[in-house]
Structure 1
Amino acid sequence: MNLSRIGFSLWLALIALFALSAIHTFGSGVNVSADLMALFPEFEQSELQEQASFQLAFSQGRRVVLLVRSADAKRLQEQAPHIESVVASSKLFEPDDRLMYRTELSRLYQPFFPQLLSAQMRELLRQEPDVAVMRGISDFYNPFSGVSPQEFFTDPVLVQRDFLLSHAKGQNLRMEQGRLWTNVDGQEAYLLPLLLREEPYDFDIQDRLLNLIEQIEERWPDFQISYTGTAFYAAAGANSARTEISTIGVGSLVGILLLITYVFRSLKPLVLALIAIGSGVFAAFVVTHFFFENVHLFTLVFGACLIGVSIDYAFHFFAHRFHKETACSASESHKAIFPGISLGLLSSGLAYAALACAPFPGLRQVALFSVVGLLMAYLTVMLAFPILANFQLASVRTVPWAQSGLISLWSQWSPRRRFSIWLFGALITLPLVWFLPSDDDVRSLQGLDPALSQMELEISEAIGLTTSPRYWLVRANTVEELLQREEQLFAQVEARDKDSRLYAVSQFVPSRQRQQENLHIYQQMVLPHVADALTQAGFPEDLAAKRRAQLAEKPFEPLMFDTWLQSNASIPWRFLWLEQRQGSVASIVLMRSKLPTENLTVLNSEQVELIDQAAEFSSLFGRYREEIAWLLLFAYGAIFALLKIRYSWFRAAAVLAVPAGASLLTLGGLSLCGVQMNLFHMLALTLVTGISIDYSVFFAETQRKPNATLLAIALASATTLLSFGLLALSATPAVQSVGVTVSLGILFAYLLGPLAFFGNQDQKDRAC
């Protein structure tokens, strides 16, 4: 058995091994993730902040809001129960217990109502108690207010009702028969807040949710449906990624099919190319799934681009095997290209290692997927092609951009002169690169679906709230101290922004100190008017006097925080409370404010901290952009050391000048176009380095008649440009940044590639 057959047997064994691994790994199902946050690094944060972030993500991520509106208010009210029935039948959501929470809260507050006052009621009782009393009487007589005689007799100024309503401050909502209603552009609107039973990133949940929306729209075509929630954004992102994977994958394969069929005048090389691509992508998917337990859609998008890169080795084999200048047997072609593609694989691997060093879980996946895919494509060419490609073809055609004029252009100058030209170009480009502006704002990289963003805005305006990724983290030694600290924070924020809205546990259970103050205000300002208010409402004087005496004699007994926390009334808001640990307590204070973060951080202290996750991620992205730039420089140094083993220092520098020049020209081009640099542009430069180093190595390994090498690189660059050019059309700005950068970089790398072609000049002694 000769070496070719041994190699082919090893390749078959590898394919069988990956197939068995796939059966074992995918036995419980293939896990593909669409969670965008899983791509990002876990930035430095305290254990408490990690807990707060988890609780917010868990509680808010499963929330879904539907807003149904119609010009026919009566029909909408009639159909609301049927809409609820359809929603309930989907079994996607937790039971709707809004009435239960409200009833529980009312029952919990009833014994403590004199000491539970809203901020507005406190101020009104201090300034104009008569107005508060008359307002209560007016509400009692208003037939639409729903105030019963029993409620008014128990609470003559209706302070408990006011306290409950204060929780909805700033919301343009009203509750009727357990349903939330509002008015949108003169139309009656029905608001349905829901909570998913499962995680929003589950594909099945997303599909069922979208089917539910379609079902409602089809059944009630005269109603206008708006919706928002993490699940909808995740579904939109997943669908976009699926479309991009399909577009990029199909586009690349069609391009490869046309190129190979045209250039090699046969479908046989196409079949072999598909074998190389398929084995590479399959092995990459199996290994990535094994190590990470799931594969992210972001990885698959880049994996689709691997089609255009992994074919490079096959192109070099075909070009050498069938080009009229280098035509030889399959085994001879194998030996001829072995040094070049092996060194190219090692150099590319070092470049992709920079991605693996980045503290981004998603980018580590991309790095592993790319390295394994390229390695398997390489092994397919080296082990299987000597057997599979043992056939004859007519001489290959050339393609317009693979003419020898490019090599002739560079060959007219000596190596020293070429390097001087390169250095001059680099010096001209450096100022453009130096002044290239940066934009690390994570919000500009999200690429949110415009339709979903518009619906979220409509719902926010309809209920009188705006969304914000910011929140306060409050710490204290005791619960009482924590509640007081939250109340102080409320006053400080509202003093700076009267339109702000904060949500905290102290809204539901005021501090003991605040409850004592409220009771004192009630006794001083309300008790003198209780009897008169009741008699004016029609109650007998003796009964009114008796009720006044009961309120006056009532001892102070605070509503305890634990009582609220353990009741069903606290269920919707328990996520704001953080576990008590090591003699301290903490809570989350949600905030809706239009004030910029820098105007609020002045309120920070050792115990109160404003958390702006978007700003923290943006800062982190900026830092990692700089770190990856240094990692890339380190990769260049490592690649130079590797090249120096085989070449002289000058020849190694010439080989490295191709990716370096391509990167500099790309950055200069982005600068001229007014593009702001972000993390993903820098990550794309690692891909440019990994791909273009192959081109320069292949030229460096070519001693005579470089047209076959030029053809291979022309085909490789064409398919890579096709892959990443399609990526530049992505709806996701981060992916688009990679596509644009790599496309420019590969174009420049192709034009600069012959810099590394020296023929027989300036080489170390080696067998060729």
Structure 2
Amino acid sequence: MRSPIERWLPRLFKLGLLLILCAGAWQSRHGWPVSANLMELVPQAGADATRQLAEARIQEPLSRQLIALVATQSANAGADAAAPARLLAQRWTDSGLFSSVQVELQIDVPALRAQLLAGRLAMLPAADRHQLETDPAAYAQRRARELSDPFSSSGLVPADQDWLGLTRRAEQALRPGGAVQYDMGTGTLQAEHAGRRWMLVRAETRGDAFDAAAPQQIAAQLEQDRAALGAAGAELLVAGGPLYAAAGRAQAVAESSWIGTGATIGIVLVLLLALRRVRALLAFVPVAVGLLTGAVACVAVFGSIHVLTLVIGASLIGVAVDFPMHWLGKSYGMADWQAWPALRRVLPGLTISLAASLVGYVALAFTPFPALTQTAVFSAAGLLGAYACTVCQLPAWMDGWRPRPWQPLLRFAEAALHARQRLAGRRAALWLGALALIAATAGGISRLSIQDDLRQWLSLPAPLLQQARQIGEITGFMPTSQFFLVRAPDADELLRRQARVSQALDALVARGDLAAYNALSQLVSPAADQKALGATLASLAGQPDAWKPLTDIGIPYAALRLELQSMAALPPQAIEDALQGPLAERWRPLWLGVREGQAAGMVTLLGLRDASALEAIARVAPDVTLVDRSGELNRMFAATRIEAAELKLLSYGVAALLLLLTLGRAAAWRILAVPLAATACSLAALGYLGQPLTLFSLFGLLLVSAIGVDYAIFMYERVAGAAASLVGILLGAATTLLSFGLLAVSQTPAIANFGLAVALGVAFSLLWAPWINPPRAAAPHPAFNN
């Protein structure tokens, strides 16, 4: 007979489910709140607003820009050579997916000349400034040689407007390195590589790379563009954050779909084989409720749910179905199995198992990694939803219904228990086996390596990576994630500190460990240095002997004196002034302005091959910070892995206390022995398989602890007999192995490592759980009384 609370539970559950559905519908009112932004899963930088601005500046081009190279044969170097690149630019413009598309540079020559003439003191390289101040005659001699050679003296500014050639020296210093050159005939940027001419096309997307639909639309557009250019005999290479986001989202959605589908089909077969009733498929309802509850909870807490969380969450199917599996599995030992009475008998075990699982997930929620925190929230909320559905609603649907147990499964469980009993009676063999197992486990753990690398989270398609490498090789520009953040009391000191960093970086360039770098000190010199140079030039205007090499080739001294006086009168240029002109595009993002009373700017790196020297370079001047986000994250991975291990040990302590209070001391150590043994064996197996211990595999082993406690509790309580309890564990293990085993073949290394760790742990938990025996002559604990 149903109690009053059992009659009310289904109604309360339906009300709660309706509220969750309404919450989910509200969260999805503007589209599915699913994110593919990998940066949402890693800890953000500290509270330093200047550093956050710098990182955002570095990240923006990665998330919004596309770089394309269109190849033609060098033989077709005429005006038509740019036709394929212009076709691509036109297609991108017509698509409406991009806010700007650039294939031809609109160069304003008068503006360039004006900027060079106005800023020739500010933009003059330090070496030339030093020579003018210390040895003007040597400078004049070099300039005379240049003017005698028309090929070496040509520049944007005519010689009669700049006899000393300061604008030409600045122009040469500001010219970007690499293989990309401006082609006057077509107005495009081009590079020669392996006998082919490549033309550069740049575009900026309207939205972020991690918008819901834009990356997929851009990827589809590029497939069409590639076909159109291929038909025209041209080759297309493209790289950019939107393509990586589209590939990551597509892979995550595909994996979550086939993992969920595969696990669902397998669990359906297990249910139909074990219970042989179509209504047994209602055991899937708690799974659906768990997934819905986990997703809604994640969006409520974090504002969105990441696609990687969805992939891992798809494996929750195998865990959430354990609740109904344990309950339905009791039909193998209860001839008069009925829904509500059977639930009353397994409810204490289900509740303790849920509490032990939640302890592990709650512990994970306190790690600093949003990836683990989001997964913990999803899983904890999902398990609560699955438990509520199993306890409150499922018995009402199953009332008056009985499963038809598959007797061969029961006989298998009985035979396994008899074999274990016979082995337990052979003390000598048992001790020898235990010692051999301990030795093998120690050997496997000794082989275990530790790996903490952000690249484990990425599984980009090989064609995308290959195109990015090709673009870097062809253009000669390969940006790196590391950069220097330089701060100083004022702009002049900032430029001096950047110049000291630049001198150290020049040594790396000379060794071949760095291709190039960008610093504000390359564009403009400190105002005090400009004034000092102006004073020097004013003094030199009255020293005709210093300029004899120039007067000897026919340049009137009066013209030289007038030019020197006019340059001495030039006002000093500040950083903001230098950044206004068309020559400054490359340096514009480096200036962060005056923040918190300090001038701040960046020094960015290109083609870094050896990062070991960067720490030392950061010490060449005060307030220079090396920002190495990937290195910091890898170090944080290691720290978080240690923290997760500590939390794991803490969760064992909490679980032990929980078991001690509910089941007693004898039960606590017996039950905890199963997850401890399963965890040790899983670590050894990972070592023998050559798999590293990562943050995600440690998270998987934390989940193994909860699963091991779950199995041990039900073998300890033996409701409806040991064989029936083992059947329930077998069914739960089969469903869990189906879902997590599929995760182990994911293309994303972190997810595959997580799935393998859990699958191994479940297998070992299944192996050790049958060895649990209640204390001899002990009465059932009150927790298991009705």
TM, length-normalised to structure 1: 0.90
Report the CA distance between 1:583 and its aligned residue.
2.8
Structure 1 stretch displaced more, 629-638 or 722-731 = 722-731
- Relative to 1, partners in 2 of residues 1:274 and 1:12: Cα closer, same or farther, differing over 3 Å? same
Structure 1 stretch displaced more, 565-574 or 711-720 = 565-574
Q: What secondary structure sits across from 2:480 in the alignment?
A: coil
Report the CA distance between 1:765 and its aligned residue.
3.7
Report the CA distance between 1:464 and its aligned residue.
1.2
Aligned counterpart in structure 1 of residue 527 of structure 2, from 486, 492, 512 = 512
Report the CA distance between 1:23 and its aligned residue.
2.6
- Relative to 1, partners in 2 of residues 1:176 and 1:530: Cα closer, same or farther, differing over 3 Å? farther
Please show how residues 320-719 of structure 1 align to structure 2 within 5 Å: 320-321=330-331, 323=332, 325-390=334-399, 391-399=401-409, 403-412=413-422, 425-426=437-438, 429-430=441-442, 432-433=444-445, 436-498=448-510, 499=512, 500=514, 501-515=516-530, 528-530=548-550, 547-554=559-566, 555-557=568-570, 558-565=572-579, 570=584, 573-592=587-606, 594=608, 596-605=610-619, 606-703=622-719, 705-719=721-735
- Relative to 1, partners in 2 of residues 1:526 and 1:226: Cα closer, same or farther, differing over 3 Å? farther
Residue 761 of structure 2 is matched in structure 1 by 745
Report the CA distance between 1:549 and its aligned residue.
3.3
Please show how residues 174-193 of structure 1 align to structure 2 within 5 Å: 174-177=181-184, 178-193=187-202
Structure 1 stretch displaced more, 708-717 or 734-743 = 708-717
- Contact kept in structure 1, 2:180 and 2:191, CA below 8 Å: yes
Residue 324 of structure 2 is matched in structure 1 by 314
Residue 80 of structure 1 is matched in structure 2 by 85
Q: Distance in 2 between matches of 1:21 and 1:723?
A: 27
Report the CA distance between 1:561 and its aligned residue.
1.8
- Contact kept in structure 2, 1:502 and 1:591, CA below 8 Å: yes
Gap runs ≥5 in structure 1:
536-540
Please show how residues 226-245 of structure 1 align to structure 2 within 5 Å: 226-245=237-256
- Relative to 1, partners in 2 of residues 1:411 and 1:505: Cα closer, same or farther, differing over 3 Å? same
Does 1:26 find its partner at 2:28? yes
Aligned counterpart in structure 2 of residue 259 of structure 1, from 257, 266, 270 = 270
Report the CA distance between 1:153 and its aligned residue.
2.4
Q: Distance in 2 between matches of 1:291 and 1:583?
A: 36
Report the CA distance between 1:228 and its aligned residue.
1.3
- Letter of the 1:42 partner, please give it: Q
- Contact kept in structure 2, 1:137 and 1:157, CA below 8 Å: no
Report the CA distance between 1:502 and its aligned residue.
1.6
Residue 745 of structure 2 is matched in structure 1 by 729
- Contact kept in structure 1, 2:45 and 2:52, CA below 8 Å: no
Report the CA distance between 1:491 and its aligned residue.
1.0
- Letter of the 1:388 partner, please give it: W
- Contact kept in structure 1, 2:480 and 2:607, CA below 8 Å: yes
Q: Distance in 1 between matches of 2:8 and 2:737?
A: 36
Residue 9 of structure 1 is matched in structure 2 by 11
- Letter of the 1:407 partner, please give it: L
Aligned counterpart in structure 1 of residue 179 of structure 2, from 172, 176, 191 = 172
Q: Distance in 1 between matches of 2:411 and 2:686?
A: 24
Q: Distance in 2 between matches of 1:763 and 1:162?
A: 95
- Contact kept in structure 1, 2:410 and 2:727, CA below 8 Å: no
Report the CA distance between 1:398 and its aligned residue.
4.0
- Relative to 1, partners in 2 of residues 1:380 and 1:684: Cα closer, same or farther, differing over 3 Å? same
Residue 228 of structure 2 is matched in structure 1 by 219
Report the CA distance between 1:617 and its aligned residue.
1.1
Structure 1 stretch displaced more, 564-573 or 593-602 = 564-573
- Relative to 1, partners in 2 of residues 1:102 and 1:231: Cα closer, same or farther, differing over 3 Å? farther
Q: What secondary structure sits across from 1:642 in the alignment?
A: helix
Report the CA distance between 1:107 and its aligned residue.
2.9
Q: What secondary structure sits across from 1:52 in the alignment?
A: helix
Report the CA distance between 1:662 and its aligned residue.
0.9
Q: Distance in 2 between matches of 1:749 and 1:458?
A: 48
- Letter of the 2:772 partner, please give it: A
Report the CA distance between 1:193 and its aligned residue.
2.6
Aligned counterpart in structure 1 of residue 123 of structure 2, from 97, 116, 129 = 116
Report the CA distance between 1:192 and its aligned residue.
1.7
Q: What secondary structure sits across from 1:301 in the alignment?
A: helix
- Relative to 1, partners in 2 of residues 1:136 and 1:630: Cα closer, same or farther, differing over 3 Å? farther
Q: Distance in 2 between matches of 1:202 and 1:35?
A: 9
What per-residue deviation string (whole Å, max 9, x for no partner) do you get for residues 337-396 of structure 1?
Answer: 211111111111111112211111222221111111111111111111212113234332
Q: Distance in 2 between matches of 1:320 and 1:35?
A: 45
What per-residue deviation string (whole Å, max 9, x for no partner) do you get for residues 529-582 of structure 1?
Answer: 55666x6xxxxx7xx655423212222532222312455765653331223134
- Relative to 1, partners in 2 of residues 1:661 and 1:416: Cα closer, same or farther, differing over 3 Å? farther
TM, length-normalised to structure 2: 0.88
For the aligned residue pairs, the C-alpha RMSD in angstroms reads 3.2
Q: What secondary structure sits across from 2:259 in the alignment?
A: helix
Report the CA distance between 1:703 and its aligned residue.
4.9
Structure 1 stretch displaced more, 339-348 or 3-12 = 3-12
Report the CA distance between 1:643 and its aligned residue.
0.7
Residue 56 of structure 1 is matched in structure 2 by 58
Residue 100 of structure 2 is matched in structure 1 by 95
- Relative to 1, partners in 2 of residues 1:526 and 1:621: Cα closer, same or farther, differing over 3 Å? farther
Report the CA distance between 1:184 and its aligned residue.
2.0
- Contact kept in structure 2, 1:116 and 1:518, CA below 8 Å: no
Structure 1 stretch displaced more, 86-95 or 287-296 = 86-95
- Relative to 1, partners in 2 of residues 1:2 and 1:350: Cα closer, same or farther, differing over 3 Å? same
Structure 1 stretch displaced more, 375-384 or 73-82 = 73-82
Q: Distance in 2 between matches of 1:449 and 1:167?
A: 37
Residue 297 of structure 2 is matched in structure 1 by 287
- Contact kept in structure 2, 1:115 and 1:518, CA below 8 Å: no
Count of aligned pairs: 754
Q: Distance in 2 between matches of 1:655 and 1:103?
A: 83
- Relative to 1, partners in 2 of residues 1:294 and 1:563: Cα closer, same or farther, differing over 3 Å? same
Q: Distance in 2 between matches of 1:732 and 1:129?
A: 62
Q: What secondary structure sits across from 2:98 in the alignment?
A: coil
Q: Taking every aligned residue pair, what percent have the same amino acid on both sides?
A: 26
Q: Distance in 2 between matches of 1:724 and 1:103?
A: 66
- Letter of the 1:756 partner, please give it: I
- Relative to 1, partners in 2 of residues 1:654 and 1:428: Cα closer, same or farther, differing over 3 Å? farther
- Contact kept in structure 2, 1:629 and 1:682, CA below 8 Å: yes
Q: What secondary structure sits across from 1:175 in the alignment?
A: strand
What per-residue deviation string (whole Å, max 9, x for no partner) do you get for residues 239-280 of structure 1?
Answer: 11111111111111111122222222232211x022221111
- Contact kept in structure 1, 2:122 and 2:524, CA below 8 Å: no
Report the CA distance between 1:17 and its aligned residue.
1.4
- Letter of the 1:215 partner, please give it: Q
Does 1:298 find its partner at 2:308? yes
Q: Distance in 2 between matches of 1:88 and 1:531?
A: 55
Report the CA distance between 1:297 and its aligned residue.
0.7
What per-residue deviation string (whole Å, max 9, x for no partner) do you get for residues 44-69 of structure 1?
Answer: 57443233222322344322211111
- Contact kept in structure 1, 2:286 and 2:320, CA below 8 Å: yes
- Relative to 1, partners in 2 of residues 1:704 and 1:414: Cα closer, same or farther, differing over 3 Å? farther
Q: Distance in 1 between matches of 2:334 and 2:477?
A: 72
Report the CA distance between 1:489 and its aligned residue.
1.3
